[in-house]
Chains A and B, each alone.
Chain A
Amino acid sequence: MTSIERVDPPLAIPEADTLLAFLDYHRDTLRMKVDGLSQEQLAQALAPSTMTLGGLMKHLALNEDHWFGVMLLGKDEAEIWQQVDWDADPNWEWRTANDDSPEVLRALFDSCVEGADRNIRQALAEGGMDYLSIKEDRREKQKFSLRWIVVHMIEEYARHNGHADLIRESVDGTTGE
């Protein structure tokens, strides 16, 4: 797993740069955790949980599109998710990841991250970290600040990277941050 170079977030810089550096760090951590594995290995779970590394890639791609595209800027969801009947098949991205090759999963992930970064830049330019999301939270009927969404994505990634740590160790013994 040496092909992905992660950049440590700088120690004393302004808010937006710091948050985005931590977000990028965790995106790269997930890329590292799935790197060099076959389709079969990416589809391997650590029982009793049913999560897989392939599923994590596809789930985080969905999250990037949901939070930074749909919620933040009010865009339509990306084409790949539009056909899915989420009520009938709420774990679609986890379930179908087993049928995707490592290259397909990585390309989907990278393109969702690229789209997310464009959306983040646009919101930042318009209102900084206090920029309010176009869509409201369903429960609280409130908009999210860009700040909330970015910190949420950092902890969302970090927790899933914790899952990825244990799953990867069970697949081929690889450990480390």
Chain B
Amino acid sequence: MTPTELTRPPLRANEAESLIAFLDYHRDYLRRKSEGLTQEQLAQPLAPSTMTLAGLLKHLALVEDHWFSEVLMGNEEAEIWQPIDWDADPDWEWRTAADDSPGTLRALFDSTVETSDRCIQQALDEGGLDRLSHRESRRPGNGHFSLRWILLHMIEEYAQHNGHADLIRESVDGVTGE
């Protein structure tokens, strides 16, 4: 597999293009941080934390589906997540990622991102960045999320997890940097 290339977000672009470019940058950053490793390496935590690179890939796939498909568009969650009893097993995606091959994890991640991109495009066409989410916040009285909020939240969600990925990857095989 050719390593994923990072594309720097354009220095001058409108709001929607800028946010999507930063989101794509961080999706690619996670791809890079998890590339070229074996299943065992992807399942290796950096103690005392229990997070792994495999868990990060599966967690971010879940988060993509949750925010862009369920919350933004009001879709059912994707098939893979439906049988899970989240109350009984709240860390399911982290726990089970160790049993998945690198290829399986990457395919799940890539297909979820593709679906998200279709959701984002549809929402943008319907109402731009001010378009409100189909679902409301679980916090009473908070109302609906703007697409703008969801995109920024996903950028910071990815970036923070990519910070975890930096230190975990360095501990696995010494690789650092962007």
Interchain CB contact (< 8 A) of A159 among B9, B11, B132, B166? B166
Interface centre among B48, B163, B176 (most CB of A within 10 A): B163
A30 to B97, CA, bound (A): 29
A175 to B160, CA, bound (A): 13
When A and B form their complex, what is the total count of cross-chain residue pairs whose Cβ atoms lie within 8 Å?
137
CB–CB A49/B143 < 8 A:
no
Interface residues of B in 19-72 (CB under 8 A from A): 19, 22, 25-26, 46-49, 51
Interface SS of B by simple majority:
helix
- Knowing A162-B162, A170-B48, say if A26 contacts B156 (CB, 8 Å): yes
- Knowing A15-B15, A19-B152, A129-B15, say if A162 contacts B142 (CB, 8 Å): no
A143 to B11, CA, bound (A): 7
Interchain CB contact (< 8 A) of B48 among A12, A130, A157, A173? A173
Residue of B nearest to A161 (CB): B160
**Is B124 in the interface zone, CB < 8 Å from A?**
no
Interface residues of A in 127-166 (CB under 8 A from B): 129-130, 132, 137, 140, 142-145, 147-148, 151-152, 154-166
CB–CB B48/A158 < 8 A:
no
Contacts of B10 in A (CB 8 A): 148
A161 to B9, CA, bound (A): 21
A154 to B158, CA, bound (A): 11
**Is B18 in the interface zone, CB < 8 Å from A?**
yes
Interface SS of A by simple majority:
helix
Chain A's interface size range is 35 or more
**Is A68 in the interface zone, CB < 8 Å from B?**
no
**Is B146 in the interface zone, CB < 8 Å from A?**
yes
CB–CB A159/B162 < 8 A:
yes
Contacts of B130 in A (CB 8 A): 12
CB distance from A99 to the nearest CB of B (A): 24
A12 to B151, CA, bound (A): 12
Binding site for B on A (CB under 8 A): 9-13, 15, 18-19, 22, 25-26, 46-49, 51, 129-130, 132, 137, 140, 142-145, 147-148, 151-152, 154-167, 169-170, 173, 175
